[in-house]
Amino acid sequence: MNPPESGSYRDGEERLDRELLRERGIATSGAPLVTALASPDVIVKLAAAHLIGIAGDSTAIPALAALLEDPIDLVQTEAAYALLRLDDPRGRPVLARWTHERVDAFIAPAIAAGYLARAGDPSGLPTVRRSFDVDNVAVRISACKRISDFLPYPEAEHDVDELFERALADPEPDVVWQALLQLREIRTAAATALLERAAHELRDTTSRELAVRFVDERRAR
């Protein structure tokens, strides 16, 4: 595990999407990116929708709207979030609907909850909490990635701390990894305490060493 030396946790999503498209020979901006929304490759559609939302390319709105009917839950979610970022109101109800779907059957609910939180609506927090209760590791990883989306909400402070505690106690190292990467950037007493505890208590050696590194970074500042 080698965490990035620069850039924020959220920036990592954009970097990964760009890398995925470049590996497939697809340009990461302009018309080729919009065209990629029609790709039969689900990974390509997801990456393209996410990058279009970041870029704010309104020419993609018709193609994104069409993806709201895609049979893949993650494609619907990414398209809805991109539309929301492009000020198209059709994205919000789709995200809201996904937060009420079964977390043991889909990955999208926790992701939709986080995207709504980024857009000013923290009502999906219970969905993220429920996602930590399922056996599906992919669901728990997706839920963990969304915890920091609720940081701007003072009323969610206790819940955020509790969710990070649950993530650090998860038996899957990849869940722990995602929690540590987010805590690395959070400058609160609670985040510092969680990192310090993780540096002493994590059973997985690699994860514990990562926590020690992040604690040392914090102390060096």
Query: What local confidence, expressed as pLDDT, does residue 7 receive?
Result: 56
Q: Cβ of 184: how many Cβ atoms within 10 Å?
A: 19
pLDDT band at 3 (very low <50, low <70, confident <90, very high): low
pLDDT at residue 78 greater than cutoff 90:
yes
pTM of the model: 0.93
pLDDT class of 8 with cuts at 50, 70, 90: confident
Give the residue extent of every domain in the chain. Answer: 9-90
Q: Half-sphere exposure (CA, 13 Å, Cβ side) for 74?
A: 15
Tell me if 95 sits within 8 A of 80, measured CB to CB: yes
Q: Is the pLDDT of residue 5 over 60?
A: no
pLDDT in tens, 20-70: 999 999 999 999 999 999 999 999 999 999 999 999 999 999 999 999 999
Instruction: Say which residues have a Cβ less than 8 Å from residue 136's Cβ, sequence separation at least 6.
Output: 104, 107
- Using the structure block, give the residue that is written with the tokens 């790709």: 39
What is the CATH architecture of 9-90?
Alpha Horseshoe (1.25)
CA 73 – CA 53 distance, rounded (Å): 17
